[in-house]
Structure 1
Amino acid sequence: MSVVAASLAAAAFGAGDFLGGVAARRLDWRAVVLVALGSGLPVLGMAAYCLDETSGVSLPLLWCLCAGLGFALGVSLLYRALAEGRMTEVAPITAIVAITVPAVVDVLTGKALTGHLAIGLVAACLSAVLLSGLGGQREAVQNRSGVIVAIVAGLGLAIFYIGLDQVDAAGAGVRGVLAIRATAFVAVAAFALRRGSCSFKPRSLGMAVAAGLLDGTANLLLMIAFATGGLAETSAIASLYPGATILLAIAILHERPSSIQGIGLLLAAPAIFLLKAG
């Protein structure tokens, strides 16, 4: 169940990034992030009201705060990279960081590193590298600022994964996901409105809203995945979201992936199988 939920979360994250990326090329990226984060709140609120059965459980506020700030940081930098046209370089590097940091934390906190898990983590990282097309592009990620953006975004998403896992372990349920999302929205709103540079164009708002709904759905799926699976493998599978983004770019924008990226897509499947076995 955890592998299915994490895989669906990766697909939802990837689709949301695709839509958000298209919108971010037409609007200020801060506006896109703000709308995307805000649009998921009503859905999560209704889910918390209708489905959640943890009303007697206290929210782990510190972990909700950490996870929310991590999500805000990771998503904001990803959308900034999308707006600047560096998706193929930045997103997979972000995914690698988001895979490895939770795995290290999982091992340091006592989880046994089985052979299947170790090989699966390596396969997932290699898949992310190949999805970036780094092996076939001489000019990829030569800009130091692009590397910094990728690493910091990955750290933000890693903090989100770790925090979400702790919120789930505390039994906070959907209310915890809602608190995380609300924290992220407030953080982005404070930054975006302070800059005073947000512009809103109706033609692109629909894509930003759809991106937010997909991200909110992915948050719920991740909560389900963490409830039944480990931190390392769940985070690794969820961090394969660039594959969904690339597939949508092929189908809708008619972009042609390189042979290196094709191999990366094929490698994602055995990576998920090995992580499930681990």
Structure 2
Amino acid sequence: MADSQQEPEDGLLGRVQSLVRAFGILDELAKSDNMTLSDLSRAVGLPRSTTHRLLTTMEALRYVAFDRRRNGWSIGVQAFTVGAVFAQTRDLGQLGRTIMRSLMSEVQHCVNIAVPEGAGVCYVGQAAANGFRQTAARPGAVLPLHTTASGKVLMAQWSRAEVDRYLGSAPLKARTARSIIDGDRLRRELADISMRGYALDDEEHSDGLRCVAAVVNDRYGLPKGSLSISDRSSHLPRARLDELGPALISAAQRMSMEIAAQSF
């Protein structure tokens, strides 16, 4: 028997269609400072009535604004807020570049910065040592949380309920023979990370690569990203990961302070 709470397929498709149309309107408004209803409806290829209905909904959510003096529509404050947060997050790699380069010179290993991205982490900056660029963590790459030091150090900041939801969403997939794919073992690993302040990736994501990561916080003390040191296993022995941990935590704290200073 079908679930009585399940939304009819045509209703779901209608919602998706409305969402696509709303994003189309935002795209057009982003190209112009002010557009009339007629100009906007022509630009997106929708009837005036449909365009007006979508605009009034987005206006109530503050994603668009209506200027009655000019009788035109423009991007609203909420869309700006979302865009500003995105820009600030992606600028993290640039903001911390001086610290990353300093750390790279100190440790002579590749230094990376990553931010949360859905169910993974997205690498947004990298400072390479001795010409070696860690291709797995190249800027723009999105890697799993549970197989990377950058991901695990962020997960260690989660509540127990958040970890449970993550583990219940899909089975953990192995990337190497060392990947942690058992939920209870991952919970113990996150508890250890929380206590020592940094996370390790001992060839868990890629054979022949090791990494250590520490969390970078925003001005409110909430996790914003992760700073990591990585290199080939032949250049980065397992014992050195723990030696690098304190220096990495110190650099991540300096980056957090820089972020807080830039936020005002």
Query: What is the TM-score when the length of structure 2 is the normalising length?
Result: 0.28
Between Structure 1 and Structure 2, the one with more strand by share is 2
Structure with max Cα Rg: 2
The structure that is helix-richer by fraction is 1
